[in-house]
Structure 1
């Protein structure tokens, strides 16, 4: 058992050092053509692979160091003029190595040369090697040894047309060798799950998954053997591979190898051996994800059918749909614990398959829907949202294929499947059907299809009704709001956005009622206080998180913040702003929605006078930061210059920070300049000159307000910059920007002509 990452790194370093040390002396022996010394040090080098202390990942690093050295040793073995020993004698000689693991690595290396020499039939040498490798039964060491055997032999198999081709049974010899190596490797791989203490099973399975490709490469080699035709695949290869898959009784191996079979062998082979392949599925372990295996098989066959109309008769000939349908039924029966979503996913794949391969067979479509109804009838109530989505996918597939709602609704099992949906999902499905009708201009000719209510108008009516509820007595009005809230909160996610808004504004109206009364409305002795109403408002708006409707919730939080400002309750106003910022950060992802939201935040914050310096600075800093991180440069620019108003508020004497106003405007200018440069790079598109004109207007606004940081020379420089940009050859004419600039310049000229103090301020600006 490993004692930790540090120990493992130490053991790996020691192993690599051992390989390098012995490789050094091996190289020296090779350079001096000393076979005896070369064998001695190569065996010592390979002995480092006998370790049991490393995880598969670390062992692979060690193995690759040794593998690189073996390639150099192989070159030496090939040239008998250097060592003076025939390949036959060399094959015998390396078998005298002391330890079995180094002996077998050397034997495989020399065996590769032995086959190339053709002094013995390839099949005899390969048979000898694959049998000898049985001597290593340690899972990791054995896997890597057999992986090395597969690596050095893959171009030396006695295949048809190969230079190592033998007698009439030559292909069978190659197949037998690969299958035997595959079988032994899979046994070693499966045995890994029993190594070490039971408490580290999850770690062991992760390590095993890292080694799965070593086993799977054998199947890839099988698929590349020229002589493996459909007949041999059907009679020999597939049955023997499936026998190993089923008998190993290991869920990880079964899932990976079934998927591997589907991926590496040709589509035509799968179609012609469908019954055999599907027959193995119900025999797999209950924990194997058979639905994914079958779904991938059906997807692959669907693509094969779509690739050419010529192959469709084959599907009919082998009765592919019938076999797939029966196999799915057997798998669902065998796996009693399969969740509903798994079974429905299989039916979705089968339906997709038949719609692509046999689109004219409506009976097949109805059969799949009927099987789904049968499965759902065993479930009292379908509550799994994932299963619901799959049912919607099942029902949507015929609509998308036939582009005709009437065709889909003629399927007898179609409405029976819909009966198992909850109210919300049923309405979603109804919307899908309506959209299909609209998209394809389907004609509805019967009255019974016109029962769908005008949902939006209904909910607007409910919202108007809430606004009609009013009582002059605040206590009674609060009771009314609480009762309405109790009933509307169970209305479901589609109704809540309508009713929540009405409830919020009813509660805000109640707040204004309290403010209009005489006395201390914030006093804790009062039976009802603004704080209590604000708590209620928070709970009402939080219900929108179940919809979800973040943009509406953000607007409502800002409305409540303004109300708290009117009641002069700073901590409540700050909390509502905090909630608005959280929604912005976590829930509002659409760039247009972000732009709208940030301007709402800035506008609301600018009107607030309840905050102390610290709280206002915190909120202002956040708003400015979000503005500068909007997706589009133009949006960034407009939001940043809008933030300048947060630092200069006319009716609040304490908020006139000219320096920070200037910083905002300069930042907006930098963003506008960057946007201009980006637009100039894009040929044929005009730069956003209007951004500069907008910023110019902000400079003029604060200049008039008496911000000493905004000078006439700054305005003059900005006007000159705009004129330069407009005259640039790289900028297309922009009539809107031209008109905007002309209007701005006329305003400056008007101020200059008006005279007085303001006229003097503008006098130094040259137009």
Structure 2
């Protein structure tokens, strides 16, 4: 039945359009012949096609517009007095009998046209509001369709108003907008109010909206409580933002009409009037206002902070945001300044920024903290004052410490590592050339990260230590210009701070990391000519080794780090150096596995022969280390024979041979050609033993070593003469 009704309506519309076209043809022909009477006759017949009640509002409007277009041509014809030689007064007398035609042509002024459209708009809107769907399902569906069509026609009236020539800003401000808003407010229908407010914003020029902002915004709190006014206002602010961005010349107009103040006030009134507005709706409005502010008044940080402050007021008294949409809007609110200014330092000056972040749940707080860090890294922004560092680390506290009892153990391991590595990278972006301010930054940093707990500190303490060591080296490089008794940023004071910071690691079960950092500090103290400080850091490292490093692999790594660092030290006097080297060789010989002992002991030989230092060339003690490593290697072979039935590889002997060759070249008198020949013979003998397991790697290493000796022998010169004494 519905289908047949639609087909009939299309047929009736087609008949009506055909009738209009037929009469229009003869009307045009009459006008071309200057036959006014015939033109009026066919015009009246054309209009008679509008006398029908069989069409829906949408179809009827289509028919009406066809007739309207033809009458516009007749109107233009009548206005061309010179063409038909007849005055307007004579024409008026002529058309008195055409009652159907006269009301449609008697629009001598723009105001008449405006009044006509406004009246039509009002009547159609009232009809639309009254048309409530009712009855059986199929009837209701048809009524719904007709109501939507009528709604479109109501909106088209506003579009027509915007297109009428002569409707300037003054007429819009004094007549059009007040009457349209009166109709919208008085209709009391939430669907109609939302649709028509949206139509106003879409069809009229941006300049008109800006100049009538007070009236337009004043209507918003008068709308029905359930009207989606947040979307209307958001669209209005977006239109105005785009208008401001279109040309710098229009910006003074925004200041003149106090656009920000009016929008801010209107949003407050709307939120107050709509007491049931969800929190997400209010925050959405503030996001739109902030976006508007950042585009129109980017230099007014006080405006930006004011918007954030209004959001804080709305959020105050509420628990953490649970609703995901509201949370997303808060994140959008916080992200907007970062994206606009591309500089976290600007955001750090906004007093309400951290207050808004406090309302995020723990998970979202961390997401926002990561956004902030990524912004800093992307723009390579340097945070240069302790005050800003303090604000920044308050913002990202969700990554720095546990919030509200949330345990680190509950976190995903990969996510946790990514977060903490981001914080570590951030620490390197905190810098100031002034030593005093840099030291304040470090103290501020220490205050925040020390609350991180045992799982976070291993990630965050190392970058703090290295940033602090940079400061130490910078102070030393200034040749005492800054360092003095009256200055707090002295190397000694900074090393005391470093000792306190690293000591925390040993208490959170990270002794190997603490040991590495102590050695780094010892090297820095060496460069700063502070022997007692360097010795103290070595002492701390040895204490950790003795008391905390229990794993055998960790011990091997630690002892080689100690040996390597000690080898690079040049500040120690004889007594201190002897004490430290004695400890290093002693610990090397006590490693759990014989091969590890052997390698650590021959590594210690380098502690007694350092090329670039006078006085640290003790050939005898070098030889003692090498011989001791040989004994350990031999013991390892015997142990292997007992436990596994074979004496294993000769790799340790080949490694020791290479140490012999190194010191032989360096001129150690204790390492003679005879000693080298004896060791080569020992290796050959071991290789021929029945108990040796074939080892291609050690065989290749040995063969390569012999080729090197042969090469040196053939090379000639002083070194060639030395190697000539070795009989292969």
TM-score, normalised relative to structure 2 = 0.47
Larger Rg: 2
